[in-house]
């Protein structure tokens, strides 16, 4: 990485629930964590000046320098996405550089996996026209009750994709 740091941004709507951020900050190999910014809707963490994690609630902050961006939404008991989710993702896609890896995690209900709801939720984001504008990697994934294992698996894929862009 040219800038010498891995910069990851986490974007969601709930300041009390972000299992991806929680899990990522538990990784011991990242080194000691220091808090760079600690505001209600924006937090920035640094790990030994090698990894920077930015966490934004309800808005897109400064993500142009991010190597990876993870959006996380709670879709339990929903048959359709909230328009706010799509707008947040589109705003984020507009602000990132090419060669950025984007994950969109949807917390799902058990019945989503048994029905066509999961596919419909993804389709409703309708991001194809935005993906054609920039060379980025985009992946949707489910967050179920087994979220820790799912997130570890997604982090592995995410970091691998980011590495291929560097």
No. of H helices and E strands in the chain? 6, 7
Q: pLDDT averaged over the chain?
A: 89
User: What is the C-alpha separation between 140 and 131, in angstroms, rounded?
Assistant: 13
pLDDT tens digits along 57-90? 999 999 999 999 999 999 988 889 999 999 999 9
Domains of the chain from N-terminus onward: 6-165 (3.40.50.300)
- pLDDT for 46-57, tens place per residue? 998 789 999 999
Q: What pLDDT, on a 0 to 100 scale, did the predictor assign at position 149?
A: 85
């Amino acid at each position: 990485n040219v800038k010498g740091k891995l910069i990851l941004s986490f974007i969601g709507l709930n300041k009390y629930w972000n299992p991806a951020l929680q899990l990522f900050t538990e990784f011991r190999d990242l080194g000691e964590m220091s808090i760079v910014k600690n505001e209600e809707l924006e937090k920035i963490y640094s790990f030994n000046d090698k990894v920077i994690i930015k966490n934004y609630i309800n808005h897109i902050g400064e993500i142009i320098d991010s190597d990876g961006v993870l959006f996380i939404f709670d879709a339990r008991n929903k048959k359709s996405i909230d328009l706010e989710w799509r707008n947040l993702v589109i705003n984020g896609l507009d602000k990132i550089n090419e060669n950025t890896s984007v994950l969109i995690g949807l917390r799902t209900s058990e019945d989503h996996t048994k029905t066509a709801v999961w596919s419909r939720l993804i389709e409703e984001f309708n991001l194809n026209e935005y993906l054609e504008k920039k060379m980025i990697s985009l992946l949707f994934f489910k967050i179920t009750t087994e979220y820790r294992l799912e997130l570890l698996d997604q982090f592995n894929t995410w970091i691998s994709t980011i590495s291929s862009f560097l």
